[in-house]
Amino acid sequence: MGSLMWLLQWPIRAIVLLIVAWLPLGVEVSSFPIAMLSAVVIGLLGTLLIWPLKLLLGPVWAVTSLVGLISPVSLLFNWAITVVLFGLAAWLIKGFRLKNGVVSAILGGVVYAVLSAVILRILGLDVDFTRAAALITTAPVV
């Protein structure tokens, strides 16, 4: 059931992306199929790139958050990763555009992440979008 819930997230995240595009944040999505593709790409990029991004940002995070003791800094780094994934997806997909560049990526990525989390939690579908990455961390190292 967990993998089915993960798959059910994509159309909901596509609708969230259309809501984000409707808001005056500088995010443009041309259609629902493009929003669906974008949601899938953001999820797949998150699964594939979460570890390289955490390794890249890890030393800065460790210093600025005192190795996790300052949780707002950790939250900011998670949002930074979300913004990078959001911007990368917009760069890869024709029909998903950030009119104001980095500003649109920041505003759109944060609103997308917050709205997605709230709506998925309300619907009981709040399975981590980077489930594959989480499985890697629990796998024993041989």
Q: Return all residues near 110 (Cβ < 8 A) that are at least 6 apart.
A: 79, 82, 83
Cα(30)–Cα(59) distance, integer angstroms? 38
What residues form DSSP beta bridges with 103?
A: none
Residue with tokens 């939690």: 121
Walk along the chain (142 residues) and give the pLDDT tens digit of each residue: 556 777 788 899 999 999 999 999 999 999 999 999 999 999 888 888 877 877 777 777 677 767 666 666 666 777 888 888 999 999 999 999 999 999 999 999 999 988 998 998 898 887 554 443 344 344 444 4
Q: Tell me how crowded residue 88 is: count the other CB atoms within 10 A of its CB.
A: 16
Q: Classify 91 as helix, strand or coil.
A: helix
Q: Tell me how crowded residue 109 is: count the other CB atoms within 10 A of its CB.
A: 26
pTM: 0.76
E strands of the chain, at which residues? 27-29, 96-98
Distances (CA, A) of 78 to 28, 75, 109: 23, 5, 11
